[in-house]
Amino acid sequence: MGGASLEREGAVGVITIDNPPVNAMSPGLPGAILARLAEAQADDAVEAVVLRGGGKGAFAGADIRSFGTPWPESEPTLRDVIPAIERSAKPVTAALAGYCLGGGLEMALSCHYRIASRKTQVGQPEVALGFPPGAGGTQRLPRLAGVETALAMIVDGTPLGAAEAAEAGILDRVIDGDLLEGAVAFAQERIAAGAPHPLARDRTPLLKDPEIFAATRERLERRARGQRAPIACLECVEVALELPFDEGVRRERAIFEECMASAESRALRHVFFAERAVRKVPGIGKETPVRAIESAAVVGAGTMGRGIATCFANAGIPVRLMDSDPLALERALAAIRSDYEGRVARGRLGAADAEARIGLIEPIESLERVAGTDLVIEAVFEEMALKEEVFRTLDSVCDEGAIIASNTSYLDVNRLAGIVPRRRGRVLGMHFFSPAQVMRLLEVVRTDSVSPETLATVLALGRRLGKIAVVAGVCHGFIGNRMLEGYTRQVGFLLEEGASPVEIDSALTGFGMAMGPCAVGDLAGLDVSWRKRKANAHLRDPSERYSAVADRLCELGRFGQKTGAGYYRYEPGSRTPIPDPEVDALIADVAAETGINRRAIGADEIVERCLYPLVNEGARILDEGIALRASDIDIVWINGYGFPRWRGGVMRWADETGLDAVHAAIARLGESQDHWEPAPLLSRLASEGKSFADVDRAA
Ligand code: 3H9
């Protein structure tokens, strides 16, 4: 619950708010602040007040955990603190350090003055939680910073650094030395200068660009399709121009409450905590030793290998990129250079930085040359025999303590660890997602024999590489790709039954997926999974339904964008999918051969049939312990497969839909189709009226 203390520094009363780790406004804290404010008002020796955060000084805003549970009736809230500050006869200065976000910034905006240490970030990130600021931020910020800056901060949720915030008029001073000393000195200056002390609420919002709302609305319609919160943020800022201050605050509050009650907000709040829970891994703690990774090597210079090498270079870690084929190596280096040049051209990176990063990648042609590196990632062709051979050689050339990781996306990493018995504690999977230098997801595949030290080292490395690392157990396809199988299987069936690639893709992008599955297949290349299907054809049960559509496309050399044709066709140099009558004819042929009567299929059926297999397999993965939590599965699908964050991920979406409804639909589909056996965990939770979140809570 935390508290607040009042100390006097001469004529300045310093209120320190203390609620570790980030001084969030939990129940009890607003009451404590009000009490200290009242004491400062009553103390004749106090002529000005400084409000600051204890610990590292952050003000993270409202306590996100408290949302959705009733606020104790007798307890004041942040919205009682804000008018009390504004009523203060003595000028109040907010002294900010670290982060000042959400309700934290709203409290600071109600103060007469704001100062901050140079590294402070100030922002209104509420949109990322599915609602606009709800304590006057949308009304005060445009009055202080101007409408354009406020709109960008509130709609996008992106914070400003202290220098920018000062320039925008949000901060009155940036302090380079000791913040408390600076704050007390600043407050004394205000005492000397005397009244009046300005309040944001008394100003008029300044609008420079009358087109800004229309332009932002148009941008949001494209970028935030299906979501309410970004538009709600825009509406609140518009209100600041249209209504007097107090009415504007009331309107903001009504919009805030409407959004807070939405499924979108519940989902986004879930993701906030899921992103933090994923870092907690049983058996790994602060005391687990972590090895320093100062150099690395990547074996195989294909698309994945070069993307992984780029990740290391981006993190400033020297990396050797090995391929025995000099041409492949040359192509990889050219692609890496072109990728960096593109970033320089788009203004994302300085030319010198790009050169420095390219300089960290050393091409090598023999496996022996990986010797001396701390970590080697094998990224060769997805074939067990080949990987085993690489592992054997690596075992003989790598340093004793080096970690060997496989970037396999499906294969048995336990078996690879068994190849190198001496170092099986230092073998695990690091499954990057393509393009590796862009995608944030990293599945860290925990073998049965991996040591806590190796796991902790790779998790820490994942963070250094800018990835969200999710621990997965060993099984075919781990978390993400194992679930993907049922999804793509239904795509094939739906095509045969009458849906076109465009209809399938539109139904799923309409749901919120970043891309539809046919367009994704064309982007990733259809030949990779074709090769896998051919290799595993003997394992398939011939009595089970199988769609040959994807195979037929590949037999025609339609591998996707790289061949100018896949589920769609592509004009040279363009990535825009164009529906292709040749594909429609091919699908109709396959359907006719299998005796399927084609029919019109609606978007709802497409969504249900593609997404319920994900939930069902997710339930098995959770039950088997392959994923540590349902929320980890959500993180995988949001960050690796374009599942909409605002729906909270696959498992959260299923919880929101109701597991009884999901279970009933799966059972119904199973009456007429193969592959719809409900997972035991799903059946159990549905019959008990429980959710995947209940499983996580009980763990
Ligand atoms: C709001 O203010 C609404 C108002 O407009 C209206 C009010 C009426 N609440 O991220 P970290 C926990 S909405 C509860 O690992 P970092 C977090 O879960 C709020 N808990 O550290 C974690 O716990 P654990 C608007 C919170 O240094 C621990 O603190 N504010 C909150 O990487 C450490 O967090 C935001 O959206 C919170 N508000 O990053 C800011 N914040 O150790 C949300 C953190 O048990 N917070 N925790 O896993 C952040 O963006 C980052 O946490 C922050 C620190 C940048 C502050």
The CB of 419 under 6 Å from ligand 1? The reply is no
Distance 622 CA to ligand 1 centre (A): 27
Give the pLDDT of residue 408.
Answer: 95
Active site residue 247: no
- The string of DSSP codes covering 312-379 is HHHTT--EEEE-S-HHHHHHHHHHHHHHHHHHHHTTSS-HHHHHHHHHTEEEES-GGGGTT-SEEEE-
More confident: 614 or 528: 614
Give mean pLDDT, residues 634-660.
Answer: 98
Distances (CA, A) of 290 to 282, 295, 472: 15, 15, 19
CA-to-CA distance for 554 and 529, rounded, in angstroms?
A: 10
| Enclosing H/E stretch for 160 | strand 160-161
In tens, the pLDDT along 164-210 reads: 999 999 999 999 999 999 999 999 999 999 989 999 999 999 999 99
Distances (CA, A) of 4 to 92, 94, 345: 15, 14, 50
Rounded to the nearest 10 degrees, how much is the dihedral formed by the CA atoms of 500, 502, 504, 510? -150
Give the pLDDT of residue 1.
Answer: 63
Distance 126 CA to ligand 1 centre (A): 11
Ligand 1 atom nearest to CA at 121: 55
The CB of 577 under 6 Å from ligand 1? The reply is no
Give mean pLDDT, residues 3-14.
Answer: 97
- Residue nearest atom 42 of ligand 1, based on CA coordinates: 276
Active site residue 126: yes
The CB of 229 under 6 Å from ligand 1? The reply is no
- The string of DSSP codes covering 526-543 is HHHHHHHHHHTGGGS-TT
Q: How much is the mean pLDDT over the chain?
A: 96
The CB of 81 under 6 Å from ligand 1? The reply is no
Contact 184/248 with Cβ under 8 angstroms?
A: no
- Residue nearest atom 52 of ligand 1, based on CA coordinates: 60
Distance 380 CA to ligand 1 centre (A): 41
Give mean pLDDT, residues 119-132.
Answer: 98
Residue type, 646: W
Distance 79 CA to ligand 1 centre (A): 19
Cα Rg, the chain, nearest whole Å: 28
Give mean pLDDT, residues 229-234.
Answer: 98
Nearest to 418 by CA among 394, 460, 440, 447: 447
Give mean pLDDT, residues 256-285.
Answer: 97
Provide φ and ψ at 3, rounded to 5°.
Answer: -155, -170
Give the pLDDT of residue 68.
Answer: 82
Q: What angle do the packed helices 603-623 and 659-670 form, to 10 degrees?
A: 110
The CB of 125 under 6 Å from ligand 1? The reply is yes
User: Which of the listed residues 17, 19, 22 should we mutate to test ligand 1's pocket, taking the one with most ligand atoms within 8 A of CB?
Assistant: 22
Distance 552 CA to ligand 1 centre (A): 51
Give the pLDDT of residue 360.
Answer: 98
The CB of 97 under 6 Å from ligand 1? The reply is no
The CB of 486 under 6 Å from ligand 1? The reply is no
Distances (CA, A) of 359 to 316, 342, 493, 663: 10, 17, 48, 54
Contact 53/97 with Cβ under 8 angstroms?
A: yes
State what percent of residues in the chain have pLDDT above 90: 95
In tens, the pLDDT along 356-398 reads: 999 999 999 999 999 999 999 999 998 899 999 999 999 999 9
Distance 118 CA to ligand 1 centre (A): 21
Of 106, 252, 497, 503, catalytic: 106
pLDDT band at 656 (very low <50, low <70, confident <90, very high): very high
Give the pLDDT of residue 535.
Answer: 85
Q: Give the N- to C-terminal CA distance of the chain in Å, as an integer.
A: 25
Give the pLDDT of residue 654.
Answer: 98
487 strand-pairing partners? none
CA-to-CA distance for 125 and 240, rounded, in angstroms?
A: 18
Give the pLDDT of residue 121.
Answer: 98
Handedness of CA 58, 60, 65, 67 (dihedral sign): positive
Give the pLDDT of residue 674.
Answer: 86
pLDDT of 2 above 80: no
Of 126, 378, 496, 503, catalytic: 126
CB contact burial 280-313 (16+ within 10 A = b; e otherwise): ebeebeeebebbebebbbbbbbbbbbbbbbbbbb
Ligand 1 atom nearest to CA at 128: 36
Give the pLDDT of residue 195.
Answer: 87
- Residue nearest atom 23 of ligand 1, based on CA coordinates: 276
User: Which of the listed residues 29, 64, 109 should we mutate to test ligand 1's pocket, taking the one with most ligand atoms within 8 A of CB?
Assistant: 64
In tens, the pLDDT along 583-607 reads: 999 999 999 999 999 999 999 999 9
Give the pLDDT of residue 69.
Answer: 87
Distance 77 CA to ligand 1 centre (A): 17
Contact 394/386 with Cβ under 8 angstroms?
A: no
CA-to-CA distance for 550 and 529, rounded, in angstroms?
A: 9
Residue type, 499: A
pLDDT band at 565 (very low <50, low <70, confident <90, very high): very high
Give mean pLDDT, residues 43-69.
Answer: 95
Ligand 1 atom nearest to CA at 103: 2
pLDDT band at 482 (very low <50, low <70, confident <90, very high): very high
